[in-house]
Structure 1
Amino acid sequence: MKHINKFLLLAVVAAALVSCAEDYESGHTYSKPDPVLETEYLNSFGILKTYVDRAANPIFKLGAGVNASVFLKKEVDYSLRYANFDEVTPDTALTHKVAIKNDGTTDFSTASSFIKAAKASGVAVYGHTLCWHANQNNTYLNSIIQGKAYSGTTLIADFESNAIGDSYLMTGNSSATVMADPAKQSGNVLKVGTSATPASQSFPKFNITLPAGRVLGDYKTLTLDFNGPGNGGLYGSGMRVIINSNAAVVFGSPSSFGCPDGAWGRGKIVLDLTKLNLSDADKALTNFTMAVGSGTGSGNYYIDNITMKWQYNDVKSPAQKMEIITTALNQWIDGMMKANAGYVTAWDLVSEPMSDNDSYLLKSGATEANASSYFFWQDYLGENYARKAASAARTYFAQYGGKADDLKLFVDDYGLENGSSTKCDRLIQIIAQWEADGTTKIDGIGTQMHVVYSLDATKQAANEAGILSMFNKLKATGKLIRISGLSVDIADASGAAIKTANVTPEQQKAMAAYYYYIVQKYMEIIPSAQRYGITLSNPTDVGDKAYGLWTSTYNRKYTYIGFLQGLAGQPLNIAK
């Protein structure tokens, strides 16, 4: 290692000082400083993994979480894990978010590099994770189930195919007659009303047949050209649109849309068809009569180029979404199994599926906070989504060189030790449901165990009771049981976290005793054949979190002793 233990350096200096004192026969004696004595005591213990009785625990793996990029540097973090642990679990290197790009292309190079480095070192890799709501490429997954938006324009009437003098029916009095554009700007236009018989709240009617595939509900706007004088419909009481025999819907007057007095307002009038208050039956119409015009008692104006713009969203049905997401899941698992080529034999098939709310079974985008930050496979694949994931994992693992019997699939979650929650019971229940098809097999259960040692004795007693209850429930499943992310933090009696710098030696010893309790009870309650192993979330302190067996500068702590003595089945004896 490049790192030099600073306390070990002090010990060397102290030894040198004693030696010098003896050479000069000063008559003085020197005691080693307490930190040096403490370090010597902590360093007198062996490498962590040597405390596992392999004969009594033939399948047991001692593991640690690791940042993949740090591991690949092969510096102190790498050496600590290589020396002390059998197995490493990378943080995100084997996740969907890293391998799948926003456009759906794949890049498994991070996974391959990590696995290659671990394999070369003889360290096993635990696969985290195949189906998780977190660390998915939400952008890609959401994009493939989103309906595409399509739009276009349908011509209702431009009167160019009409002969001069053709007429259209009106809703009331007066007339609507095709004539040449008096402004000579376009060909034919429709004259509504006359000076002799103005249209009085009467509007031309158009019989409309929509193009194939379109329905009235697809249309969002109606646009037309208008030319009329101030006393002939430019102002009035507003434009009107009537569908069949429905009531007229009122819009602004032509002048409010910017049409000039006595001249063409080309494309100025744009009416919002979503304000028509159409019934579902109306929205489904493909043939209908539409009347449109200016609401005035003295209508005498021209209209031209009536068009309607449609917009259609290709919304995917639940069945279509299930098919799309199933394909995406299969492609992702296929790529990951190809990348590891059978080396990674244990995986979190599903991670953190259970809702924290006891009123629900599984997490869901409909009930979880910050749901938009996650992707919930179960929302699209159904409660039994793990069946699809398990089938894909076993199929592709074997396809790319893995021995089928070697593959172990786990379901992992946090908070199972919480005695006030039903999460552990619900997890066991859903696994039984998944396996009820007679095909799906879940080999093991992972309990993360991010726990807190409480300085409140009553709370701490409840914490320990919850752990005992959980281990007994997990034992009863007969499945492999793995502590998948163990960390012991510390809180004062009020529940406030105690930061690393403020943890006293006595509090650290209490944390060590809690580590001992957890490991010892795991070894005691879980039968040998079910003990897959224990993985530490992070073996060192990180920032204000004092949960490590080592400090952030890689010095052993009292927690190291508590953990190893629990592992070895030795009596707890932290003090020298």
Structure 2
Amino acid sequence: MKMNRKNNMVWGTLVAALLASCVDTEIADVTVTKPESIAQYEYLNDYAPLKSYIDRAANPDFKLGLALAANEFIEGGLVFRLAEANFDEVTAGNAMKYASCVNDKGEMNFETVDKFVTAAQAAGITIYGHTLAWHAQQNNKYLNSLIKDKELPPSVGEGNCLHINTSEAKANPWDWQNYYDLESPLLQGKSYVFSMRTKASSAVTFPLWIETPNAGNTHYGIPQISAGTTWSTISIEFTPNSDCSRLLFNFGQFGGDLWFDDMVLVEKGSEQNMIKNGTFEEGNLPSNWSKPSWHAHSYSIIPTPGDAAVEILTDIITNGDAQGSETTNFVSTHVGGANAACDIVDGVGKDGSRAFVVTSAGGGTNSWDTQFFLYADRPLVENDVVRISFDYRADTPNNSESQAHAAPGAYIHYDGGCAVSFTTEWQHFEKTITINTTLSPEGNMQTFAWNLDVGAPNAPANKYYFDNIKLQIVTKGNTIPLTPEEKKEALTRAMNNWIEGMMKATGGYVTTWDVVNEAISGGGNDGEGFYVLQSASNAGADAANNFYWQDYLGSEDYVRIVVAAARKYYAENGGVKPLKLFINDYNLESTWDNNQKAKSLVHWIEKWESDGVTKIDGIGTQMHVAYRANAADQQKQEEHVVKMFEILAKSGKLVKVSELDMGYVDESGTTVLTKDMTEEQHKAMAEYYKFIVKKYFEIIPVAQQYGITQWCATDAPGAPGDSNWRGGEPVGLWDSNYNRKHTYAGFADGLAGK
């Protein structure tokens, strides 16, 4: 399985290869002496380069490919010569992926791609592009910045205020100052109270001083003024120890915007405001206000900005309109008394589509014998504000009761605040509820429950219908999420920019691509009996490492957008030959689900192409396999390889084995590392390679044969769990010193049809 990988392909150096025994003599023009210890490999010297075993007359369009590190191919050394001698086509393991070309600012760098294409052109070898769209190895920071919440413009409050703007924060409080000269001085020994409303572009605290100009009596010990990003009121009490006639506002260590309003200075116990036009409503600042002549900041009266806080609704249930198949959040009591997923029924919804239906047999002992549960994605805790709304009706009028539960059936409180009276006509319910400790005493409420057998033992036999259900957390903030449409627009633009850049870099030379990589999840149900797409919602912990374009572009439009962009920008940037676009995925040979993933991929391709515009040319099957020492397991595995090829052949699409490599699993189910492999195990792997390659040619019609790409030339360095692809496993056709292995012979024999 290849969910997340770096595909590091570390190759030996040319010097090491030339000094090693049994080096592939087709790529090193030297004669080497073979030690006795490797005599059992002598027969491998009789093999020609791999691509010479392809029957070009019978399979004219077949391409034998190799995945490699682009920079090592560009160097023109041993890796280049091995690829040129043995293969028709090369695939860059990483260099043509999004994260390799796009930085955190969205800037694209295709320097390596340019050099890779130039080297391949010079060698007369084609490139298979890998990959235009994928959820892994994306620049998550940049992509998430495109869909982050947007800041709201300042709202306008009532009246006017004093606005001060400074260009930067400086070293000292007195580096930015405003003065207010009082018409009557503050008197020694008297207590005064100063208050005002404040707001700042970022939180700040700064000193207020008092003095008489040029008297040398500045008072520094007055409590400081604080301002946050929303309006608040400050109040300061102080007692001068000398007469003072000036207030000094010292905000030199702040850069940004300050707003003051409703400024009041009174002698304690008095109501006489000593600040002239302290509400700033007269429009012009009185001459009492000034600043040092050398201070460049601005201050003026402006309309009062409000706090740009809006109501933000966050869904905590999925499929409330019943249009999908997801029922995790909807549970009901079924006739017979068991709680299970609520039924979704076609044609009974408010708009004639689908709705949730709860069936009561009637009678009963208690009102809660039949219940409907709305189960949130997370617990509801004290002070959570929840908005709940839904449409409802019944076949027979009846009342209901509402309860608070933890999980469905785990009763907490008798009044959930959402009881409704059912009639035969559709009605709408909506209410905002603040969760308290009565409803959620231990922070454990997660369910609203409705008791539907009200009137028991005379409750009517009935059907209750719920539709358009919403359960949302209500918060307020100064930003608002982009709408789904805005996110789709932003990411469609980003996808088009990326594909246009790649097509310009390849200049029409790369005519075949993995247009979308690993789209199918391997689980779930799309409503038609097939697996759903990969998504952050089904990826578990791995979701944080990936960016799921399909979650924003849509399950169907995702692939359509990528395919359309690929065809458009290929044609606009030198593309002349037919462009072939593949959907590439792994585990299509799966035994545990009878090739359900392969069937699902074919199904989704049919769905993507149903618009009559989108055309997908081929299917790539990765085939990261292992030979299994358990004979029954190996037989089952081979049977499902055959089934996979049959499914793909039946699709009518081109078929490419896109990333073939192999490990070894012993009888106990343990992966065997290269250092522990025996000769017999290597030979068993060779037979499995031969089996796979032969079955490809036997089952895939000639017109659908695109080719086979070996993903690892040499055995993997490192160890299991490190950053290397299949670290420490015997995945190569050559060993780490470029000695041919038994698997080389098996692969060659498969190509030759032996």
TM-score normalised per structure 1: 0.70
Displacement of 1:152:
6.1
Displacement of 1:33:
5.9
Displacement of 1:154:
7.2
Indicate which of 316, 319, 337 corresponds to 2:485. Answer: 319
Note closer, same or farther for the CA distance 1:55–1:277 as it changes in structure 2 (3 Å cut).
closer
**In structure 2, C-alpha distance between the alignment counterparts of 1:153 and 1:429, rounded to whole Å:** 50
Q: Does 1:453 align with 2:622?
A: no
Indicate which of 559, 568, 572 corresponds to 1:395. Answer: 568
CA contact (8 A) 2:194 2:237 kept: no
**In structure 2, C-alpha distance between the alignment counterparts of 1:183 and 1:131, rounded to whole Å:** 71
- CA RMSD, Structure 1 to Structure 2 (Å): 3.4
| Matched AA of 1:420 | W
| Matched AA of 1:332 | W
Q: Does 1:418 align with 2:590?
A: yes
Structure-1 residue corresponding to 2:82: 80
**In structure 1, C-alpha distance between the alignment counterparts of 2:75 and 2:52, rounded to whole Å:** 25
Greater helix percent: which structure?
Answer: 1
SS in 1 for 2:18: coil
Displacement of 1:158:
10
**1:497-536 deviations in Å (ceiling 9; x for gaps):** 1010111011100000000000000011011111100001
Displacement of 1:377:
1.0
Indicate which of 545, 553, 563 corresponds to 2:729. Answer: 545
| Matched AA of 2:538 | T
SS in 1 for 2:478: strand
**In structure 2, C-alpha distance between the alignment counterparts of 1:159 and 1:331, rounded to whole Å:** 45
Displacement of 1:319:
0.6
SS in 1 for 2:21: helix
Displacement of 1:329:
0.6
| Matched AA of 1:373 | N
Q: How does 1:474-485 map to 2 (within 5 A)?
A: 474-485=648-659
**In structure 2, C-alpha distance between the alignment counterparts of 1:566 and 1:45, rounded to whole Å:** 13
Q: How does 1:12-31 map to 2 (within 5 A)?
A: none
Indicate which of 614, 626, 639 corresponds to 1:440. Answer: 614
CA contact (8 A) 1:149 1:311 kept: no
Note closer, same or farther for the CA distance 1:39–1:443 as it changes in structure 2 (3 Å cut).
same
**In structure 2, C-alpha distance between the alignment counterparts of 1:8 and 1:326, rounded to whole Å:** 52
Note closer, same or farther for the CA distance 1:335–1:520 as it changes in structure 2 (3 Å cut).
same
Note closer, same or farther for the CA distance 1:525–1:278 as it changes in structure 2 (3 Å cut).
closer
Displacement of 1:226:
3.7
Q: How does 1:66-215 map to 2 (within 5 A)?
A: 66-149=68-151
Structure-2 residue corresponding to 1:7: 21
Q: Does 1:364 align with 2:364?
A: no
CA contact (8 A) 1:334 1:392 kept: yes
Structure-1 residue corresponding to 2:546: 374
Indicate which of 307, 322, 335 corresponds to 2:501. Answer: 335
Structure-2 residue corresponding to 1:497: 671
CA contact (8 A) 2:196 2:235 kept: no
SS in 1 for 2:581: strand
Gaps of 5+ in 2: 1-13, 26-30, 163-183, 198-227, 239-267, 271-308, 312-381, 389-475, 526-530, 718-727
CA contact (8 A) 1:516 1:565 kept: yes
**In structure 2, C-alpha distance between the alignment counterparts of 1:262 and 1:122, rounded to whole Å:** 94
**In structure 2, C-alpha distance between the alignment counterparts of 1:327 and 1:414, rounded to whole Å:** 28
Q: Percent identity?
A: 42
Note closer, same or farther for the CA distance 1:45–1:324 as it changes in structure 2 (3 Å cut).
same
| Matched AA of 2:750 | G
**In structure 1, C-alpha distance between the alignment counterparts of 2:48 and 2:644, rounded to whole Å:** 31
Displacement of 1:39:
3.6
Displacement of 1:7:
3.0
**In structure 2, C-alpha distance between the alignment counterparts of 1:262 and 1:565, rounded to whole Å:** 103
Note closer, same or farther for the CA distance 1:156–1:412 as it changes in structure 2 (3 Å cut).
same
Displacement of 1:92:
1.4
Q: How does 1:522-561 map to 2 (within 5 A)?
A: 522-543=696-717, 544-561=728-745
SS in 2 for 1:550: coil
**1:182-210 deviations in Å (ceiling 9; x for gaps):** 85565999xxxxxxxxxxxxxxxxxxxxx
| Matched AA of 2:699 | I
TM-score normalised per structure 2: 0.54
**1:254-294 deviations in Å (ceiling 9; x for gaps):** xxxxxxx999xxxxxxxxx999988879xxxxxxxxxxxxx
**1:290-341 deviations in Å (ceiling 9; x for gaps):** xxxxxxxxxxxxxxxxxxxx95113100011111111111111011001111
Greater strand percent: which structure?
Answer: 2
Q: How does 1:288-307 map to 2 (within 5 A)?
A: none
| Matched AA of 1:46 | A
| Matched AA of 2:519 | P
**In structure 1, C-alpha distance between the alignment counterparts of 2:627 and 2:18, rounded to whole Å:** 31
Q: How does 1:274-293 map to 2 (within 5 A)?
A: none
CA contact (8 A) 2:515 2:583 kept: yes
Displacement of 1:156:
6.9
Tell me the number of residue pairs that the alignment of Structure 1 and Structure 2 aligns.
437
Note closer, same or farther for the CA distance 1:42–1:439 as it changes in structure 2 (3 Å cut).
same
Structure-2 residue corresponding to 1:223: 232
**In structure 1, C-alpha distance between the alignment counterparts of 2:730 and 2:506, rounded to whole Å:** 34
| Matched AA of 1:330 | N
Q: Does 1:469 align with 2:659?
A: no
Indicate which of 342, 352, 355 corresponds to 2:521. Answer: 355
Per mean C-alpha deviation after superposition, the further-off stretch among 119-128 and 144-153 is 144-153
**In structure 2, C-alpha distance between the alignment counterparts of 1:57 and 1:473, rounded to whole Å:** 20
SS in 2 for 1:316: coil
Structure-2 residue corresponding to 1:431: 605
Q: Does 1:569 align with 2:750?
A: no
Displacement of 1:540:
1.0
Displacement of 1:119:
1.1
**In structure 2, C-alpha distance between the alignment counterparts of 1:419 and 1:506, rounded to whole Å:** 25
**1:1-52 deviations in Å (ceiling 9; x for gaps):** 653253359x9xxx999xxxxxxxxxxxxxx964353343111111111001
